[in-house]
Structure 1
Protein backbone atom coordinates (compact mmCIF):
# COMPACT_ATOMS: atom_id res chain seq x y z
CA UNK A 1 0.00 0.00 0.00
CA UNK A 2 1.15 3.60 -0.54
CA UNK A 3 2.73 4.90 2.67
CA UNK A 4 3.23 8.46 3.85
CA UNK A 5 6.86 8.20 2.81
CA UNK A 6 5.75 7.10 -0.65
CA UNK A 7 3.56 10.21 -0.89
CA UNK A 8 6.56 12.42 -0.18
CA UNK A 9 8.60 10.51 -2.73
CA UNK A 10 5.80 10.83 -5.26
CA UNK A 11 5.67 14.59 -4.79
CA UNK A 12 9.40 14.85 -5.40
CA UNK A 13 9.12 12.61 -8.44
CA UNK A 14 6.31 14.72 -9.84
CA UNK A 15 8.39 17.87 -9.56
CA UNK A 16 11.31 16.15 -11.27
CA UNK A 17 9.09 14.67 -13.97
CA UNK A 18 8.01 18.13 -15.02
CA UNK A 19 11.52 18.88 -16.25
CA UNK A 20 12.58 15.42 -17.41
CA UNK A 21 11.69 13.01 -20.17
CA UNK A 22 10.83 9.36 -19.70
CA UNK A 23 11.77 6.73 -22.20
CA UNK A 24 10.25 5.22 -25.36
CA UNK A 25 11.32 3.91 -28.82
CA UNK A 26 13.22 5.64 -31.65
CA UNK A 27 14.27 3.87 -34.83
CA UNK A 28 12.40 0.67 -34.02
CA UNK A 29 9.72 -1.31 -35.78
CA UNK A 30 6.21 -2.47 -35.05
CA UNK A 31 6.16 -5.68 -33.02
CA UNK A 32 4.11 -8.63 -34.26
CA UNK A 33 0.70 -8.35 -32.56
CA UNK A 34 0.80 -9.89 -29.07
CA UNK A 35 4.28 -11.32 -29.61
CA UNK A 36 5.25 -9.72 -26.30
CA UNK A 37 2.33 -10.79 -24.11
CA UNK A 38 3.92 -9.50 -20.91
CA UNK A 39 3.65 -5.84 -21.94
CA UNK A 40 1.47 -3.52 -19.87
CA UNK A 41 0.17 -0.06 -20.72
CA UNK A 42 -0.24 2.21 -17.70
CA UNK A 43 -2.92 4.74 -18.62
CA UNK A 44 -3.99 7.94 -16.91
CA UNK A 45 -7.36 9.75 -17.04
CA UNK A 46 -7.44 12.27 -19.88
CA UNK A 47 -10.81 13.97 -20.03
CA UNK A 48 -13.37 11.22 -20.44
CA UNK A 49 -10.78 8.81 -21.84
CA UNK A 50 -7.57 7.14 -20.79
CA UNK A 51 -4.18 8.00 -22.29
CA UNK A 52 -1.07 5.80 -22.38
CA UNK A 53 1.47 7.24 -19.97
CA UNK A 54 4.05 4.56 -19.22
CA UNK A 55 4.95 0.96 -19.78
CA UNK A 56 5.33 -2.02 -17.48
CA UNK A 57 5.54 -5.79 -17.70
CA UNK A 58 3.78 -8.72 -16.07
CA UNK A 59 5.90 -10.81 -13.71
CA UNK A 60 3.18 -12.82 -11.88
CA UNK A 61 -0.56 -13.38 -12.08
CA UNK A 62 -1.39 -10.18 -10.16
CA UNK A 63 1.86 -8.22 -10.41
CA UNK A 64 3.35 -5.72 -12.85
CA UNK A 65 6.85 -4.26 -12.61
CA UNK A 66 7.48 -0.67 -13.69
CA UNK A 67 9.50 2.43 -12.75
CA UNK A 68 8.84 4.62 -9.69
CA UNK A 69 8.71 7.81 -11.73
CA UNK A 70 5.95 6.38 -13.93
CA UNK A 71 3.34 7.15 -11.28
CA UNK A 72 4.45 10.53 -9.92
CA UNK A 73 1.17 11.16 -8.09
CA UNK A 74 0.44 7.57 -7.08
CA UNK A 75 -2.37 5.51 -8.66
CA UNK A 76 -4.65 8.56 -8.89
CA UNK A 77 -7.20 6.97 -11.22
CA UNK A 78 -4.64 5.23 -13.41
CA UNK A 79 -5.45 1.87 -14.97
CA UNK A 80 -3.23 -0.99 -16.12
CA UNK A 81 -4.19 -2.51 -19.48
CA UNK A 82 -2.86 -5.92 -20.54
CA UNK A 83 -3.24 -7.79 -23.84
CA UNK A 84 -2.63 -4.59 -25.81
CA UNK A 85 -1.16 -4.15 -29.26
CA UNK A 86 -3.10 -1.16 -30.57
CA UNK A 87 -3.85 1.53 -28.01
CA UNK A 88 -6.91 2.73 -29.92
CA UNK A 89 -8.54 -0.38 -31.33
CA UNK A 90 -11.10 -2.40 -29.37
CA UNK A 91 -9.12 -5.62 -29.12
CA UNK A 92 -10.88 -8.60 -27.53
CA UNK A 93 -7.59 -9.54 -25.87
CA UNK A 94 -7.49 -6.42 -23.66
CA UNK A 95 -8.04 -6.68 -19.92
CA UNK A 96 -8.17 -3.56 -17.73
CA UNK A 97 -7.25 -3.40 -14.05
CA UNK A 98 -7.33 -0.98 -11.16
CA UNK A 99 -4.17 -0.51 -9.13
CA UNK A 100 -4.88 -2.12 -5.78
CA UNK A 101 -1.46 -1.42 -4.27
CA UNK A 102 1.63 0.49 -5.44
CA UNK A 103 5.03 -0.25 -3.96
CA UNK A 104 7.80 2.22 -4.78
CA UNK A 105 11.35 1.27 -3.85
CA UNK A 106 11.99 3.10 -0.56
CA UNK A 107 15.42 4.32 -1.66
CA UNK A 108 14.33 5.84 -4.95
CA UNK A 109 16.17 9.11 -5.63
CA UNK A 110 14.27 11.80 -7.52
CA UNK A 111 17.55 13.63 -8.22
CA UNK A 112 19.06 10.94 -10.42
CA UNK A 113 16.44 8.15 -10.65
CA UNK A 114 18.57 5.69 -8.68
CA UNK A 115 16.55 2.62 -7.54
CA UNK A 116 13.87 3.37 -10.13
CA UNK A 117 11.81 0.21 -9.62
CA UNK A 118 8.20 -0.18 -8.54
CA UNK A 119 5.69 -3.01 -8.21
CA UNK A 120 1.98 -2.75 -8.96
CA UNK A 121 -0.47 -5.21 -7.46
CA UNK A 122 -3.52 -5.44 -9.69
CA UNK A 123 -7.03 -5.55 -8.23
CA UNK A 124 -7.36 -9.17 -9.40
CA UNK A 125 -5.35 -11.85 -11.20
CA UNK A 126 -5.42 -11.63 -15.00
CA UNK A 127 -6.93 -14.31 -17.20
CA UNK A 128 -3.94 -15.91 -18.91
CA UNK A 129 -4.07 -16.19 -22.70
CA UNK A 130 -1.77 -16.10 -25.71
CA UNK A 131 -1.95 -12.30 -25.40
CA UNK A 132 -1.25 -12.08 -21.65
CA UNK A 133 1.57 -13.99 -19.99
CA UNK A 134 4.19 -13.29 -17.34
CA UNK A 135 7.82 -12.90 -18.38
CA UNK A 136 10.93 -14.24 -16.66
CA UNK A 137 13.10 -11.62 -14.98
CA UNK A 138 16.69 -11.88 -13.79
CA UNK A 139 17.41 -12.56 -10.15
CA UNK A 140 20.46 -12.17 -7.91
CA UNK A 141 23.29 -14.30 -9.28
CA UNK A 142 21.96 -14.13 -12.82
CA UNK A 143 24.19 -13.07 -15.70
CA UNK A 144 23.66 -9.49 -16.84
CA UNK A 145 24.60 -8.50 -20.40
CA UNK A 146 28.13 -7.25 -20.92
CA UNK A 147 29.36 -4.34 -23.01
CA UNK A 148 28.21 -4.48 -26.66
CA UNK A 149 25.70 -7.25 -25.93
CA UNK A 150 22.50 -6.90 -27.97
CA UNK A 151 19.38 -6.32 -25.90
CA UNK A 152 15.79 -5.43 -26.75
CA UNK A 153 13.28 -2.94 -25.45
CA UNK A 154 9.64 -2.38 -26.34
CA UNK A 155 6.93 0.20 -25.85
CA UNK A 156 4.49 2.77 -27.15
CA UNK A 157 6.83 5.73 -26.62
CA UNK A 158 7.69 8.58 -28.96
CA UNK A 159 9.06 7.83 -32.41
CA UNK A 160 11.05 11.07 -32.51
CA UNK A 161 11.96 14.16 -30.48
CA UNK A 162 8.82 15.88 -31.74
CA UNK A 163 6.77 13.57 -29.56
CA UNK A 164 5.07 11.60 -32.34
CA UNK A 165 3.47 8.62 -30.59
CA UNK A 166 2.67 5.25 -32.22
CA UNK A 167 -0.67 3.51 -31.81
CA UNK A 168 0.85 0.04 -31.98
CA UNK A 169 3.59 -1.56 -29.89
CA UNK A 170 7.12 -0.91 -31.11
CA UNK A 171 10.34 -2.84 -30.48
CA UNK A 172 14.02 -2.08 -31.02
CA UNK A 173 17.38 -3.78 -30.54
CA UNK A 174 20.13 -1.76 -28.86
CA UNK A 175 23.55 -2.49 -27.39
CA UNK A 176 24.91 -2.24 -23.86
CA UNK A 177 27.27 0.71 -23.46
CA UNK A 178 30.42 0.54 -21.33
CA UNK A 179 29.36 1.76 -17.84
CA UNK A 180 32.68 3.60 -17.49
CA UNK A 181 31.65 5.66 -20.50
CA UNK A 182 28.24 6.43 -19.02
CA UNK A 183 29.93 7.65 -15.82
CA UNK A 184 31.96 10.22 -17.75
CA UNK A 185 31.07 13.84 -17.07
CA UNK A 186 30.12 14.43 -20.72
CA UNK A 187 27.67 11.49 -20.52
CA UNK A 188 25.82 11.25 -17.17
CA UNK A 189 28.57 11.81 -14.62
CA UNK A 190 27.64 11.12 -11.00
CA UNK A 191 23.99 10.62 -11.96
CA UNK A 192 24.91 7.18 -13.28
CA UNK A 193 25.17 4.58 -10.49
CA UNK A 194 25.98 0.89 -10.14
CA UNK A 195 22.22 0.20 -10.11
CA UNK A 196 21.99 1.32 -13.75
CA UNK A 197 23.00 0.09 -17.17
CA UNK A 198 22.89 2.15 -20.35
CA UNK A 199 22.23 1.09 -23.93
CA UNK A 200 21.58 2.44 -27.43
CA UNK A 201 22.73 1.87 -31.00
CA UNK A 202 24.74 4.50 -32.81
CA UNK A 203 26.14 4.94 -36.28
CA UNK A 204 28.74 2.25 -37.00
CA UNK A 205 32.23 3.13 -38.15
CA UNK A 206 32.34 3.62 -41.10
CA UNK A 207 28.88 5.15 -41.04
CA UNK A 208 26.55 4.39 -43.94
CA UNK A 209 24.27 7.40 -44.35
CA UNK A 210 21.43 7.98 -43.90
CA UNK A 211 21.57 6.20 -40.55
CA UNK A 212 18.52 5.74 -38.35
CA UNK A 213 19.25 6.24 -34.65
CA UNK A 214 17.92 3.53 -32.37
CA UNK A 215 17.17 4.37 -28.75
CA UNK A 216 14.46 4.63 -26.14
CA UNK A 217 12.58 7.92 -25.87
CA UNK A 218 9.72 9.84 -24.25
CA UNK A 219 6.69 7.84 -23.08
CA UNK A 220 7.81 4.33 -22.31
CA UNK A 221 9.54 4.32 -18.95
CA UNK A 222 8.76 1.24 -16.93
CA UNK A 223 9.07 -1.08 -19.92
CA UNK A 224 11.45 -4.05 -20.08
CA UNK A 225 15.02 -4.41 -21.32
CA UNK A 226 15.45 -8.03 -22.42
CA UNK A 227 18.57 -10.14 -22.87
CA UNK A 228 18.02 -13.59 -24.40
CA UNK A 229 14.32 -13.34 -23.60
CA UNK A 230 14.82 -12.52 -19.91
CA UNK A 231 14.09 -9.06 -18.50
CA UNK A 232 17.32 -7.62 -17.07
CA UNK A 233 16.41 -3.94 -16.85
CA UNK A 234 13.60 -1.42 -16.48
CA UNK A 235 13.52 1.54 -18.85
CA UNK A 236 14.26 4.50 -16.61
CA UNK A 237 15.67 7.80 -17.86
CA UNK A 238 18.14 9.30 -20.30
CA UNK A 239 18.78 12.65 -21.89
CA UNK A 240 16.17 15.27 -22.69
CA UNK A 241 16.62 14.42 -26.36
CA UNK A 242 16.49 10.87 -27.69
CA UNK A 243 19.08 9.15 -29.86
CA UNK A 244 21.98 11.36 -28.75
CA UNK A 245 25.36 9.61 -28.83
CA UNK A 246 26.33 10.76 -25.33
CA UNK A 247 22.89 10.23 -23.79
CA UNK A 248 21.99 6.55 -24.21
CA UNK A 249 18.91 5.18 -22.47
CA UNK A 250 19.33 4.31 -18.80
CA UNK A 251 17.87 1.11 -17.34
CA UNK A 252 17.50 -0.08 -13.75
CA UNK A 253 19.45 -3.31 -13.05
CA UNK A 254 16.74 -5.69 -11.77
CA UNK A 255 19.11 -8.31 -10.32
CA UNK A 256 20.03 -5.86 -7.54
CA UNK A 257 16.50 -5.98 -6.10
CA UNK A 258 15.67 -9.68 -5.67
CA UNK A 259 15.22 -9.49 -1.89
CA UNK A 260 13.02 -6.39 -2.09
CA UNK A 261 10.88 -7.92 -4.86
CA UNK A 262 10.41 -11.18 -2.95
CA UNK A 263 9.56 -9.43 0.31
CA UNK A 264 7.10 -7.09 -1.43
CA UNK A 265 5.28 -9.86 -3.27
CA UNK A 266 5.20 -12.28 -0.34
CA UNK A 267 1.67 -13.04 0.88
CA UNK A 268 0.82 -10.91 3.89
CA UNK A 269 -0.54 -12.71 6.98
CA UNK A 270 -4.19 -11.97 7.63
CA UNK A 271 -4.94 -9.92 10.71
CA UNK A 272 -6.51 -11.89 13.54
CA UNK A 273 -8.57 -10.73 16.50
CA UNK A 274 -6.87 -10.88 19.86
CA UNK A 275 -9.16 -13.02 22.02
CA UNK A 276 -7.58 -11.66 25.20
CA UNK A 277 -8.72 -8.10 24.50
Structure 2
Protein backbone atom coordinates (compact mmCIF):
# COMPACT_ATOMS: atom_id res chain seq x y z
CA UNK A 1 0.00 0.00 0.00
CA UNK A 2 1.26 3.44 -0.90
CA UNK A 3 1.93 5.88 1.89
CA UNK A 4 -0.59 8.73 2.13
CA UNK A 5 0.06 11.79 0.00
CA UNK A 6 -0.54 15.03 1.84
CA UNK A 7 -0.46 18.44 0.22
CA UNK A 8 0.73 21.63 1.86
CA UNK A 9 -1.19 24.60 3.17
CA UNK A 10 -2.76 26.65 0.39
CA UNK A 11 -4.14 30.13 -0.19
CA UNK A 12 -7.82 30.68 -0.94
CA UNK A 13 -7.26 32.57 -4.22
CA UNK A 14 -10.48 32.98 -6.19
CA UNK A 15 -12.51 30.28 -4.48
CA UNK A 16 -14.16 30.01 -1.09
CA UNK A 17 -13.37 27.09 1.26
CA UNK A 18 -16.29 24.74 0.86
CA UNK A 19 -19.52 23.80 -0.78
CA UNK A 20 -23.06 23.04 0.32
CA UNK A 21 -26.68 23.46 -0.79
CA UNK A 22 -28.45 26.75 -1.53
CA UNK A 23 -32.15 26.18 -2.18
CA UNK A 24 -32.93 22.51 -2.74
CA UNK A 25 -34.92 20.40 -0.29
CA UNK A 26 -34.48 17.93 2.55
CA UNK A 27 -33.63 14.48 1.22
CA UNK A 28 -35.70 11.48 2.29
CA UNK A 29 -33.96 9.88 5.26
CA UNK A 30 -31.18 7.51 4.10
CA UNK A 31 -32.26 7.76 0.46
CA UNK A 32 -28.60 8.47 -0.38
CA UNK A 33 -26.85 5.72 1.60
CA UNK A 34 -23.44 6.50 0.10
CA UNK A 35 -23.21 9.89 1.83
CA UNK A 36 -20.43 10.49 4.36
CA UNK A 37 -19.96 13.24 6.93
CA UNK A 38 -16.33 14.11 7.67
CA UNK A 39 -16.24 15.52 11.18
CA UNK A 40 -13.72 17.42 13.28
CA UNK A 41 -13.52 17.68 17.07
CA UNK A 42 -15.06 20.82 18.57
CA UNK A 43 -14.64 20.65 22.32
CA UNK A 44 -16.10 17.35 23.49
CA UNK A 45 -18.29 17.02 20.39
CA UNK A 46 -17.75 16.36 16.70
CA UNK A 47 -18.79 18.90 14.06
CA UNK A 48 -19.57 18.28 10.38
CA UNK A 49 -16.88 19.85 8.23
CA UNK A 50 -16.99 18.24 4.76
CA UNK A 51 -18.88 15.69 2.75
CA UNK A 52 -17.76 12.53 1.02
CA UNK A 53 -19.23 9.36 -0.45
CA UNK A 54 -18.57 5.64 -0.10
CA UNK A 55 -17.00 3.93 -3.12
CA UNK A 56 -15.91 0.55 -1.65
CA UNK A 57 -16.08 -1.34 1.65
CA UNK A 58 -13.25 0.67 3.24
CA UNK A 59 -12.99 3.64 0.90
CA UNK A 60 -14.57 7.10 0.84
CA UNK A 61 -13.96 9.68 -1.88
CA UNK A 62 -13.79 13.40 -1.05
CA UNK A 63 -11.94 16.60 -2.00
CA UNK A 64 -8.30 17.43 -1.27
CA UNK A 65 -9.07 20.87 0.11
CA UNK A 66 -11.14 19.31 2.92
CA UNK A 67 -7.97 17.99 4.59
CA UNK A 68 -4.96 19.55 2.83
CA UNK A 69 -2.58 18.98 5.73
CA UNK A 70 -3.78 15.54 6.83
CA UNK A 71 -6.62 13.87 8.73
CA UNK A 72 -5.54 15.34 12.09
CA UNK A 73 -7.98 13.31 14.16
CA UNK A 74 -11.03 13.74 11.95
CA UNK A 75 -13.58 10.94 11.75
CA UNK A 76 -15.93 9.70 9.03
CA UNK A 77 -19.57 9.04 9.88
CA UNK A 78 -21.78 6.94 7.58
CA UNK A 79 -25.51 6.23 7.78
CA UNK A 80 -26.29 9.84 8.69
CA UNK A 81 -29.44 11.81 8.03
CA UNK A 82 -29.65 14.09 11.08
CA UNK A 83 -26.28 15.32 12.31
CA UNK A 84 -27.56 15.89 15.84
CA UNK A 85 -29.83 12.89 16.47
CA UNK A 86 -28.55 9.57 17.84
CA UNK A 87 -29.54 7.44 14.85
CA UNK A 88 -29.06 3.67 15.11
CA UNK A 89 -27.88 3.67 11.49
CA UNK A 90 -24.75 5.72 12.15
CA UNK A 91 -21.31 4.11 11.87
CA UNK A 92 -18.22 6.09 12.90
CA UNK A 93 -14.71 5.41 11.59
CA UNK A 94 -11.17 6.59 12.14
CA UNK A 95 -9.18 7.59 9.05
CA UNK A 96 -6.49 4.97 8.52
CA UNK A 97 -5.05 6.56 5.37
CA UNK A 98 -5.61 9.82 3.48
CA UNK A 99 -4.50 10.01 -0.15
CA UNK A 100 -4.68 13.53 -1.58
CA UNK A 101 -4.05 13.78 -5.30
CA UNK A 102 -0.38 14.73 -5.76
CA UNK A 103 -1.14 17.28 -8.49
CA UNK A 104 -3.76 19.25 -6.59
CA UNK A 105 -3.40 22.91 -7.53
CA UNK A 106 -4.10 25.29 -4.65
CA UNK A 107 -4.54 28.25 -7.00
CA UNK A 108 -7.63 26.92 -8.76
CA UNK A 109 -8.44 23.59 -7.04
CA UNK A 110 -7.57 21.56 -10.14
CA UNK A 111 -7.28 17.81 -9.35
CA UNK A 112 -9.39 18.24 -6.21
CA UNK A 113 -9.87 14.54 -5.47
CA UNK A 114 -8.89 12.50 -2.41
CA UNK A 115 -9.42 8.98 -1.10
CA UNK A 116 -9.90 8.01 2.54
CA UNK A 117 -9.24 4.47 3.77
CA UNK A 118 -11.39 3.69 6.79
CA UNK A 119 -10.01 1.80 9.77
CA UNK A 120 -12.37 -1.12 9.02
CA UNK A 121 -15.02 -2.15 6.46
CA UNK A 122 -18.48 -0.69 6.95
CA UNK A 123 -21.52 -2.84 7.75
CA UNK A 124 -23.74 -2.69 4.67
CA UNK A 125 -27.38 -1.77 5.34
CA UNK A 126 -30.21 0.23 3.78
CA UNK A 127 -28.52 3.32 5.25
CA UNK A 128 -24.91 2.53 4.24
CA UNK A 129 -23.98 1.43 0.73
CA UNK A 130 -21.28 2.21 -1.83
CA UNK A 131 -22.05 4.42 -4.82
CA UNK A 132 -21.20 3.62 -8.42
CA UNK A 133 -18.77 6.20 -9.80
CA UNK A 134 -17.87 7.06 -13.38
CA UNK A 135 -14.77 5.47 -14.84
CA UNK A 136 -12.68 6.36 -17.89
CA UNK A 137 -14.70 6.03 -21.09
CA UNK A 138 -18.04 6.60 -19.36
CA UNK A 139 -20.44 9.34 -20.45
CA UNK A 140 -20.17 12.58 -18.49
CA UNK A 141 -23.08 15.06 -18.58
CA UNK A 142 -23.16 17.66 -21.33
CA UNK A 143 -24.42 21.24 -21.06
CA UNK A 144 -28.00 21.55 -19.72
CA UNK A 145 -28.06 17.96 -18.41
CA UNK A 146 -29.82 17.57 -15.05
CA UNK A 147 -27.52 16.41 -12.24
CA UNK A 148 -27.93 15.96 -8.48
CA UNK A 149 -25.90 16.96 -5.46
CA UNK A 150 -26.43 16.61 -1.72
CA UNK A 151 -24.93 17.62 1.59
CA UNK A 152 -25.15 19.28 4.98
CA UNK A 153 -23.60 22.56 3.83
CA UNK A 154 -24.80 26.13 4.35
CA UNK A 155 -28.27 27.09 3.19
CA UNK A 156 -27.39 30.77 2.80
CA UNK A 157 -24.42 33.16 2.71
CA UNK A 158 -24.74 33.71 6.46
CA UNK A 159 -23.44 30.19 7.06
CA UNK A 160 -26.65 28.69 8.43
CA UNK A 161 -26.25 24.90 8.42
CA UNK A 162 -29.05 22.33 8.18
CA UNK A 163 -29.28 19.41 10.59
CA UNK A 164 -30.73 17.03 8.00
CA UNK A 165 -29.26 16.09 4.62
CA UNK A 166 -30.34 18.36 1.77
CA UNK A 167 -30.35 17.65 -1.96
CA UNK A 168 -30.62 19.74 -5.11
CA UNK A 169 -31.35 19.00 -8.75
CA UNK A 170 -29.29 21.37 -10.88
CA UNK A 171 -28.09 21.74 -14.48
CA UNK A 172 -24.66 21.60 -16.09
CA UNK A 173 -23.35 24.78 -17.73
CA UNK A 174 -21.13 24.62 -20.79
CA UNK A 175 -17.38 24.60 -20.23
CA UNK A 176 -17.12 27.52 -22.64
CA UNK A 177 -19.34 29.64 -20.42
CA UNK A 178 -17.42 28.77 -17.24
CA UNK A 179 -14.15 29.69 -18.97
CA UNK A 180 -15.43 33.17 -19.75
CA UNK A 181 -13.56 35.93 -17.96
CA UNK A 182 -16.73 37.01 -16.11
CA UNK A 183 -17.14 33.46 -14.76
CA UNK A 184 -13.88 31.63 -13.81
CA UNK A 185 -11.61 32.38 -16.75
CA UNK A 186 -8.42 30.35 -17.03
CA UNK A 187 -8.87 28.88 -13.56
CA UNK A 188 -11.55 26.57 -14.99
CA UNK A 189 -9.93 23.43 -16.45
CA UNK A 190 -10.91 20.32 -18.40
CA UNK A 191 -11.03 18.44 -15.06
CA UNK A 192 -14.04 20.47 -13.92
CA UNK A 193 -17.80 20.57 -14.40
CA UNK A 194 -19.79 23.65 -13.38
CA UNK A 195 -23.47 23.51 -12.51
CA UNK A 196 -26.34 25.32 -10.80
CA UNK A 197 -30.03 25.97 -11.49
CA UNK A 198 -31.89 29.21 -12.03
CA UNK A 199 -35.14 29.25 -10.11
CA UNK A 200 -38.22 30.00 -12.28
CA UNK A 201 -39.97 33.28 -11.57
CA UNK A 202 -41.73 33.36 -9.18
CA UNK A 203 -39.53 31.11 -7.05
CA UNK A 204 -41.06 28.72 -4.53
CA UNK A 205 -38.55 29.85 -1.91
CA UNK A 206 -36.23 32.79 -1.12
CA UNK A 207 -33.37 31.67 -3.38
CA UNK A 208 -33.14 32.63 -7.05
CA UNK A 209 -30.54 29.93 -7.70
CA UNK A 210 -30.04 26.37 -6.49
CA UNK A 211 -26.33 25.87 -5.95
CA UNK A 212 -23.63 24.43 -3.72
CA UNK A 213 -22.25 26.49 -0.82
CA UNK A 214 -20.00 26.36 2.26
CA UNK A 215 -19.59 23.10 4.17
CA UNK A 216 -20.24 20.34 1.67
CA UNK A 217 -17.05 19.99 -0.33
CA UNK A 218 -16.23 16.40 -1.15
CA UNK A 219 -19.83 15.39 -1.72
CA UNK A 220 -21.10 13.73 -4.92
CA UNK A 221 -22.47 15.05 -8.20
CA UNK A 222 -24.67 12.38 -9.81
CA UNK A 223 -25.83 11.91 -13.39
CA UNK A 224 -28.33 9.13 -14.10
CA UNK A 225 -27.57 7.59 -10.72
CA UNK A 226 -23.78 7.47 -11.23
CA UNK A 227 -21.37 9.77 -9.37
CA UNK A 228 -19.59 11.80 -12.04
CA UNK A 229 -18.17 14.64 -9.94
CA UNK A 230 -16.87 15.69 -6.53
CA UNK A 231 -18.14 18.94 -5.05
CA UNK A 232 -15.10 21.20 -5.18
CA UNK A 233 -15.78 24.93 -5.07
CA UNK A 234 -17.91 27.84 -6.14
CA UNK A 235 -17.73 31.57 -5.68
CA UNK A 236 -16.92 33.75 -2.72
CA UNK A 237 -20.68 33.95 -2.19
CA UNK A 238 -23.12 31.14 -2.87
CA UNK A 239 -25.92 31.35 -5.39
CA UNK A 240 -24.32 33.88 -7.73
CA UNK A 241 -25.34 33.55 -11.38
CA UNK A 242 -21.76 33.84 -12.68
CA UNK A 243 -20.14 31.73 -9.97
CA UNK A 244 -21.82 28.31 -10.23
CA UNK A 245 -20.61 25.34 -8.21
CA UNK A 246 -17.53 23.53 -9.54
CA UNK A 247 -17.12 19.75 -9.47
CA UNK A 248 -14.08 17.55 -10.15
CA UNK A 249 -14.60 15.12 -13.08
CA UNK A 250 -14.01 11.68 -11.52
CA UNK A 251 -13.54 9.73 -14.77
CA UNK A 252 -10.28 11.58 -15.41
CA UNK A 253 -8.69 9.84 -12.42
CA UNK A 254 -9.52 6.13 -12.96
CA UNK A 255 -5.88 5.01 -13.09
CA UNK A 256 -4.95 6.93 -9.92
CA UNK A 257 -8.04 5.66 -8.06
CA UNK A 258 -7.32 2.05 -9.02
CA UNK A 259 -3.68 2.36 -7.94
CA UNK A 260 -4.55 3.82 -4.53
CA UNK A 261 -7.27 1.26 -3.86
CA UNK A 262 -4.96 -1.56 -4.95
CA UNK A 263 -6.96 -2.56 -8.01
CA UNK A 264 -3.99 -2.23 -10.37
CA UNK A 265 -0.36 -0.96 -10.27
CA UNK A 266 0.15 2.78 -10.58
CA UNK A 267 1.87 3.79 -13.85
Unaligned runs of 5+ in 2: none
1:41-56 counterparts in 2 under 5 A?
41-56=37-52
2: CA distance, partners of 1:216 / 1:229? 19
Aligned CA-pair RMSD: 1.8
Name 1:119's counterpart in structure 2. 115
Q: 1:93 to 1:17 in 2, by over 3 A?
A: farther
Relative to the length of structure 1, the TM-score reads 0.90
Name 2:236's counterpart in structure 1. 240
**1:202 Cα deviation after fit:** 1.3
Which structure shows the bigger proportion of residues in helix conformation? Answer: 1
Matched residue SS, 1:160: coil
The answer as to 2:245 corresponding to 1:249 is yes
2: CA distance, partners of 1:86 / 1:146? 33
Name 1:148's counterpart in structure 2. 144
Match of 2:60 among 45, 64, 73: 64
Relative to the length of structure 2, the TM-score reads 0.94
2: CA distance, partners of 1:97 / 1:237? 26
Q: 1:144 to 1:268 in 2, by over 3 A?
A: closer
**1:18 Cα deviation after fit:** 11
Match of 1:225 among 221, 227, 234: 221
Number of corresponding residues: 261
* Structure 1 residues 72-100: Cα deviation after superposition (integer angstroms, max 9, x where no partner): 33110100000000000000000000000
Match of 1:34 among 30, 33, 37: 30
Matched residue SS, 1:16: coil
Unaligned runs of 5+ in 1: 270-277
Q: 1:222 to 1:123 in 2, by over 3 A?
A: same
**1:19 Cα deviation after fit:** 7.5
* Structure 1 residues 124-163: Cα deviation after superposition (integer angstroms, max 9, x where no partner): 0001011000000000000001100000000000000010
1: CA distance, partners of 2:156 / 2:236? 12
The answer as to 2:202 corresponding to 1:208 is yes
